[in-house]
Structures are given as structure tokens and as C-alpha cells.
């Protein structure tokens, strides 16, 4: 076996596992199926990843690193973003969610079986919520948005629910599957932006509607 | 064995299965665990429910019947409800969701493995969405709410996402578990009503805030 092929085997296994988990759901995929699809022996897979748990955590850690780069650090200052920046941020967020969608399609189940995943997901989710608050407070400071702190609380939680579960919702509801979230992150972005829309002043709301026309057409 | 005990065995099995599915997730519970917990032999369980599939579908059908009673028939006329009627409707909805929460905690997984459940869930969800639209159009007709048809579309989908996934969100995010949705349906109701709130006229919004003070205290 060439050295380069040997080096790449764990990456290839992880790629195959990700594709199978995304397509069928992690609880429905065995390590033997992964070995079979990667065209290696179960023993070779075991050499690189001792259990399915190790494989799931390797994929989750790769996902978490990307998400943490997106949601940034713990500075809680209002963010100076406009609606276009926010649209782009959500686009990148839903792109990442789409690439690692196995986490989102069986979230409760995975959180129940992988406590380390649950803890890190929850921390990350709180960080996302904080980022959303910072962005909204930034829009308020720039005079583009109006909302009481009670409204911001409810809005933040609703944004978190829609960000976390839009993909599962889309999968359960869309019988045709031809416009799934992973291929059309902007539909998901629009769904989140429509939560913020009623709190925007009319000029900013028009900007948002223009963005929607541009990205959803 | 007394006749009454024999008659009640399927009900008892279903009750035990529901409790175990709700607590641990349907994919993590075996029929042997259900038999054990119901204090009957696996053979006796098999006599009443030939497979776990039969048990899941019996429970889902009981749930679906209750939901269909709630969301009503296919008449698409605007509904003459005020915000208090809507609050009560959502309270009953989240009560039912809480009682059959195993469906919601592993929804994508169940839909993948039980096509009949998926079809009926999707139909029901479309019916719920239609009911939400009827209620909103009723509020608009009564002059309590203002929203364009594009806004109503986005709002309806966001309401459907929050109704469907609030419980899973709550479970993933609430580390303490002491205020879970099944015990506090009004927190879930408030979360949905906060989606509608920015579209209400100020008097109706005050009514809604008074209801929140009353039910959430």
C-alpha cells in the first residue's frame, strides 16, 4: 500500500461514514456497512476507529470546529452587522448544518446516547443564541430594528428553534425532496429572516425583501 | 385469568410501551424490555402485538385520532377565534404532543422507518398549518391582526416548526429537565404566540401579554 493511500484511509472512512449517516440516519448505519461502502475490511476500519462512537465523535468535532469559527468568541458586545451581513452569516450556518445534517436529523437521539456531544452541542447552541442577540442589539443600536428585551428573548429562542430544526422539518414535510435544505440554504435563511422582519423599520425591511428576491429566485 | 384482566392486557402493554418510548426514545427500547416492565412474557406480548412496529402504529393511531379531533375538518373558512381561544387551542395541542412525545423526539428517524406514520404525520401537519392560517385570517378579518399573504406564509411555516420541534429543542437545551414541555405546555404556547405577537394590533397584543402573565406565573 502506498504511503499516501495509508495516510488518507481515516479521512476516506470519515467521508463515507458522513455520507451514510446523512443519507440514512446515524442510528440506522452499522460500522460493517461503512467498511463495505469504503471497500475496506471491518478489521481495517476498527484499526482507525475502534467503535462507531469514535467515528461519530470525530465527525462531530470537525463540525463543531466549523461552527465555533462561525459563532465566534464570547465577547457580548452588539455586532455592527446589516441585514446583508446577517443573511450571509445564516447562509454559512445552514451550509454547515446541511453538510453535517446527520447531527440535526437525529439530534435528540444522538444527545441521549453521546453525552459529550450533547454538552458541546448545548454550549454551542447557547453561543449561537448569544450571537443572534448581539446581532439584533447591533441592528437596534443602528436604528434598523425595534424590540423590547422581552420580545428579543422570545425572538432569540424562536430563531434558535428554526435554525436547529428547519432541516428536520423540511425533511419530514417535503415529500418531493428535490428542494432540500442542503441544496437550498437560502430558503432556510429566509425562514429565519422572516422571524426578524416584523421588528425591522420599513427601509431595512425593504432591503431584506430585495435580498430575498435576489437569493430565492 | 379474569376476563377483565385479559381485556386490559393490550391497553396495559400500550401504556408501558408509551412510557418507555417517551422516556428513552423508541429506537432505544426493545419489545423484551416492554414485556419485562409490563410483567408479562415476551410470548404474551407477541400474542397481542406481533412486532414493535404494530405497537408503535397502535400508539401513533391513538395520538393521530386526538390530533385530528383538535385540528378539525377541511373547511378552510377563517376561524372566529380571539387570542384566548388560540391560547387554549395551543395548550391542548402541546398537551397531546407532551403525552406522545416519543413521536416528536425521534421524528425524522420514525418517519424514515415507518412510511405509514410519515404519510399520516405529514397530512396532519398540513392540516395544522391550514388551521393556523384559518385562525390568523380570522384575526385579520376581526381587525385584530395585520399581515400580508407573504408574511402569513412565512409565519405559518415558523409556527409549524416551533409546534413540531419545541419539545425536542427544550429537551436538548434544558440541562435541568425540571421544566420540560410535557409539564409546562404554556411555555410552549407562549413561544408560538410570540411569533404572532408582532402582527397583532396594540390592544390585542396587550390581551396576549395579560394571558401570558396569567398562565406563566
pLDDT in tens, A55-83: 999 999 999 999 999 987 667 788 888 99
Give the number of other CB atoms < 10 A from CB of residue A123: 12
Minimum distance, in Å, between the CA of residue B124 and any CA atom of chain A = 10
Supply the pLDDT for residue A206: 95
- CATH 1.10.357.10 holds for A56-216: yes
Partner-chain residue, chosen from B28, B112, B158, that has the shortest CB–CB distance to A162: B158
Contact A89, B154 (CB under 8 A): no
Alpha-carbon span B174 to B68, nearest angstrom: 30
Contact A86, A135 (CB under 8 A): yes
Q: Say if the Cβ atoms of B190 and A154 lie within 8 Å.
A: yes
Residue B27 CB-half CA count within 13 A:
23
Domain residue spans of chain A: 1-50, 56-216
Residue A178 has pLDDT above 60, yes or no: no
Partner-chain residue, chosen from B108, B175, B191, that has the shortest CB–CB distance to A171: B108
Place of cell 445534517: A101
Minimum distance, in Å, between the CA of residue B37 and any CA atom of chain A = 21
Alpha-carbon span A90 to A27, nearest angstrom: 28
Alpha-carbon span A125 to A163, nearest angstrom: 10
Domains A1-50 and A56-216 share a fold: no
Q: Is A106 on the interface with B (CB under 8 A)?
A: yes
Residue A200 has pLDDT above 60, yes or no: yes
Q: Which residues of B touch A154 (CB under 8 A)?
A: 190-191, 194, 197
Partner-chain residue, chosen from B107, B166, B198, that has the shortest CB–CB distance to A168: B107
Alpha-carbon span A56 to A60, nearest angstrom: 6
Q: Name the residue of chain A whose CA is nearest to B28's CA.
A: A109
Counting residues of chain A whose pLDDT is more than 90, the rounded percentage is 78
Q: Which residues of B touch A161 (CB under 8 A)?
A: 161-162, 165-166, 169, 191
| Single pTM value for the model | 0.90
Comparing CA positions, the residue from B157, B169, B192, B33 lying closest to residue B105 is B169
Question: 3-class DSSP state for residue B8?
Answer: helix
Alpha-carbon span B188 to B195, nearest angstrom: 11
**Which CATH number does B1-50 carry?**
1.10.10.60
Q: Which fold has domain B60-216?
A: Tetracycline Repressor; domain 2 (1.10.357)
Q: Say if the Cβ atoms of A198 and B194 lie within 8 Å.
A: no
Q: Say if the Cβ atoms of A27 and B24 lie within 8 Å.
A: no
Q: Which residues of B touch A195 (CB under 8 A)?
A: 158, 195
Regarding predicted confidence, which is higher, A184 or A213?
A213
Q: Which residues of B touch A125 (CB under 8 A)?
A: 172-173
Q: Is B130 on the interface with A (CB under 8 A)?
A: no
Partner-chain residue, chosen from B121, B166, B198, that has the shortest CB–CB distance to A161: B166
Q: Name the residue of chain A whose CA is nearest to B171's CA.
A: A108
Q: Is B28 on the interface with A (CB under 8 A)?
A: yes
DSSP letters, B97-155, are HHHTHHHHHTHHHHHHH-HHHHHHHHHHHHHHHHHHHHHHHHHHHTTSB---HHHHHHH
Mean pLDDT, chain A, whole residue set: 90
Q: Is B158 on the interface with A (CB under 8 A)?
A: yes
Contact A31, A42 (CB under 8 A): yes
Alpha-carbon span B128 to B160, nearest angstrom: 8
Q: Name residue A145's beta-bridge partners.
A: A200
Residues of chain B with pLDDT under 70: 1-7, 73-74, 175-183
Q: Which residues of B touch A113 (CB under 8 A)?
A: 28
Tens-place pLDDT, residues A98-152 = 999 999 999 988 998 999 999 999 999 999 999 999 999 999 999 999 999 999 9
A93 CB-near residues (< 8 Å, 6+ apart): A67, A70, A128, A163
Q: Is A9 on the interface with B (CB under 8 A)?
A: no
Tell the burial category of B75 from Cβ atoms under 10 Å away from its Cβ (0-12, 13-18, 19+).
exposed
Q: Which residues of B touch A28 (CB under 8 A)?
A: 109, 112-113
Give the number of other CB atoms < 10 A from CB of residue A18: 20
Q: Is B154 on the interface with A (CB under 8 A)?
A: yes
Supply the pLDDT for residue A65: 94
- Taking one residue from A and the other from B, the number of pairs with CB-CB distance under 8 angstroms is 115
Alpha-carbon span B41 to B79, nearest angstrom: 50
Q: Is A166 on the interface with B (CB under 8 A)?
A: yes
Supply the pLDDT for residue B5: 57
Partner-chain residue, chosen from B122, B154, B157, that has the shortest CB–CB distance to A172: B122
Minimum distance, in Å, between the CA of residue A151 and any CA atom of chain B = 8
Partner-chain residue, chosen from B28, B122, B173, that has the shortest CB–CB distance to A125: B173
Residue A190 has pLDDT above 90, yes or no: yes
Amino acid at each position: 500500500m502506498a504511503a499516501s493511500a495509508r495516510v488518507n484511509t481515516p479521512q476516506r472512512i470519515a467521508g463515507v461514514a458522513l455520507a451514510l449517516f446523512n443519507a440514512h440516519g446515524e442510528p440506522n448505519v452499522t460500522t460493517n456497512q461503512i467498511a463495505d461502502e469504503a471497500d475496506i475490511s471491518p478489521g481495517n476500519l476498527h484499526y482507525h476507529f475502534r467503535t462507531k462512537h469514535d467515528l461519530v465523535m470525530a465527525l462531530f468535532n470537525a463540525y463543531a470546529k466549523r461552527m465555533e469559527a462561525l459563532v465566534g468568541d464570547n465577547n457580548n458586545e452588539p455586532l455592527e452587522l446589516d441585514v446583508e451581513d446577517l443573511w450571509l452569516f445564516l447562509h454559512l450556518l445552514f451550509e454547515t448544518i446541511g453538510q453535517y445534517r446527520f447531527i440535526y436529523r437525529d439530534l435528540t437521539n444522538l444527545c441521549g446516547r453521546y453525552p459529550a456531544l450533547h454538552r458541546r452541542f448545548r454550549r454551542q447552541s447557547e453561543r449561537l443564541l448569544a450571537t443572534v442577540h448581539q446581532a439584533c442589539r447591533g441592528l437596534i443600536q443602528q436604528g434598523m430594528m425595534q424590540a423590547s428585551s422581552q420580545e428579543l428573548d422570545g425572538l432569540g429562542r424562536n430563531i434558535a428553534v428554526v435554525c436547529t430544526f428547519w432541516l428536520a422539518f423540511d425533511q419530514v414535510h417535503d415529500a418531493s425532496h428535490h428542494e432540500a435544505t442542503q441544496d437550498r440554504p437560502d430558503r432556510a435563511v429566509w425562514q429565519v429572516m422572516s422571524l426578524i422582519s416584523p421588528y425591522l423599520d420599513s427601509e431595512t425591511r425593504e432591503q431584506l425583501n430585495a435580498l430575498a428576491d435576489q437569493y430565492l429566485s
